[in-house]
Structure 1
């Protein structure tokens, strides 16, 4: 356990507590998981908040989910034959196929 440093504010000494510096965004997946933790696992959520690790945890989770989503989308594109040739030949068919692939991949990651 680390030693606390106190600062003086008027007549009182208060702990000088600072959160770790974290600049990565938590993104869509991190926000969704944060809401899930808050509603379904409040003790875990509070532990992460009080230890200052919540933002780091959610940023890591967001990066993992985004990476997994990209991999799944690429695999589905290859399996279904959605290529740049289709995009050049029929843009609307390509957009429809990509929207379907993206929606299915997001459902896979979400579950």
Structure 2
């Protein structure tokens, strides 16, 4: 069964499938292959649990995957820039002479950079 739907100046025809006493709209989301990384998945989890309205809106307007890939890309870029700045301000020990101290220093800087990104970008 087709019923006309008007919203603003856009006309759409929705099809419905009878399910018992109800007519349910035939809705499908388009499948777009996008790679969502660590930070995009963290953002998705945050939206699903803390910003349910925004999550539903992004999902229904088919902008969720685009939003998540943008967040992931931006987070990785900002972490890289922040790491470079932190490394400039706090130089690492010599990697060749003390690899464990170098690794510990670099991990600490990455944790600092990630903490900034998580509060400013992911959990905002």
TM-score bucket (shorter structure)? 0.7 to 0.9
Matched, 1:29 2:39: yes
Encode CA deviations 1:25-68: one digit per residue, 9 max, x unaligned.
22111111111111122111111111111111101110001100
Alignment of 1:56-71 (within 5 A): 56-71=66-81
- Of 62, 84, 97, which residue of structure 2 is paired with 1:89? 97
Unmatched tracts of structure 1, length 5 or more: 7-13
- Of 102, 112, 124, which residue of structure 2 is paired with 1:104? 112
How many residue pairs match? The answer is 101
Taking structure 1 as the reference length, the TM-score comes to 0.78
Q: CA RMSD in A?
A: 2.2
The answer to which structure has the higher helix fraction is: 1
Alignment of 1:12-51 (within 5 A): 17-19=28-30, 21-23=32-34, 25-51=35-61
Question: 4+ residue stretches of structure 1 with deviation over 3 A?
Answer: 1-6, 14-18
Measure, in 2, the Cα distance between the counterparts of 1:20 and 1:48. 14
The answer to which structure has the higher strand fraction is: 2
Compute the displacement of 1:21 (Å): 2.3
User: Could you say which residue in structure 1 is the equivalent of 2:89?
Assistant: 79
